[in-house]
Structure 1
């Protein structure tokens, strides 16, 4: 196999890849949670939440691909099994079907968790002069913070 020479040494690529693996696991877990809530939401806000959750899980589905491809561009394997995601994710799965307002609260928590995970990685990527990862993380932070705000607004 040809050696990777993109201006980021192997040690930093490993550190960044590990951080991106955690972002990927959190994002995928949040995707699954959001899709589950889309299928199972009920109550007076059904139509609004059903459509909103669909938009959100579609965005997350695209995001996992971007994160995984960045890991691959760094020359590392991307985690891609439930077992790996459970081990890497800080977002826990839900048992049962929560009420609609609890779904909203749990998705706010999930988006804020992904934001914190991404924010932890940013200085690592920045110190390694890894602008593409910094750009990806910045974009993800914007999406997760905005989505958390929009969901939180439904609870007021």
Structure 2
């Protein structure tokens, strides 16, 4: 007995129509999933440092990190939805994030404000590199829509890196 149309729909994979080849979908969605894990890791670390900021520059640093965290979080949905738009899948859990993330967590009891900012500066610089790697994968498969999004996110991460660099610059 063959399945009904409704039964077929229930059995259908999460396949979205696209003109990208199956290897492109696989490569791009895998790159986007890893990138999304990194973005979530950076978001949580930025919020962690925002929540645990202290010292004489508390207000300025606290507000800057909140602004940066909002910008980072704003990319998450677009990254995940881009993978789905091309017929791929994306992250499914915190465990999935932890298996894919390349940006390290910081669970220390106390981190000085200077070390917080320096660590975030380096993490944002690492994110720029990871964004460029993902851009290369998308360019290789002629996925111009994703490369266009990545270019905006590269610019945003470079700006965050610059602000964090200037904030941590030592006076001579």
Q: TM-score, normalised by structure 2?
A: 0.86
Give the Cα–Cα distance (whole angstroms) in 1 for the partners of residues 106 and 140 of structure 2.
36
Number of the residue aligned with 1:35: 47
The answer to whether the aligner puts 1:119 opposite 2:136 as a matched pair is: no
Number of the residue aligned with 1:82: 94
Q: Deviations over 1:29-48 (max 9, x none)?
A: 00000011111100011000
Number of the residue aligned with 1:105: 118
Indicate the RMSD between aligned Cα atoms, in angstroms: 1.4
Superposition deviation, residue 5 in structure 1: 4.0
Superposition deviation, residue 7 in structure 1: 2.0
**Structure 1 unmatched ranges of 5 or more:** none
**Structure 2 unmatched ranges of 5 or more:** 1-11
Superposition deviation, residue 4 in structure 1: 4.1
Superposition deviation, residue 141 in structure 1: 0.6
Q: Deviations over 1:81-118 (max 9, x none)?
A: 22111111111111223100000011111111111111
The answer to whether the aligner puts 1:60 opposite 2:75 as a matched pair is: no
Q: TM-score, normalised by structure 1?
A: 0.94
Select the residue among 33, 51, 55 that pairs with 1:21. Answer: 33
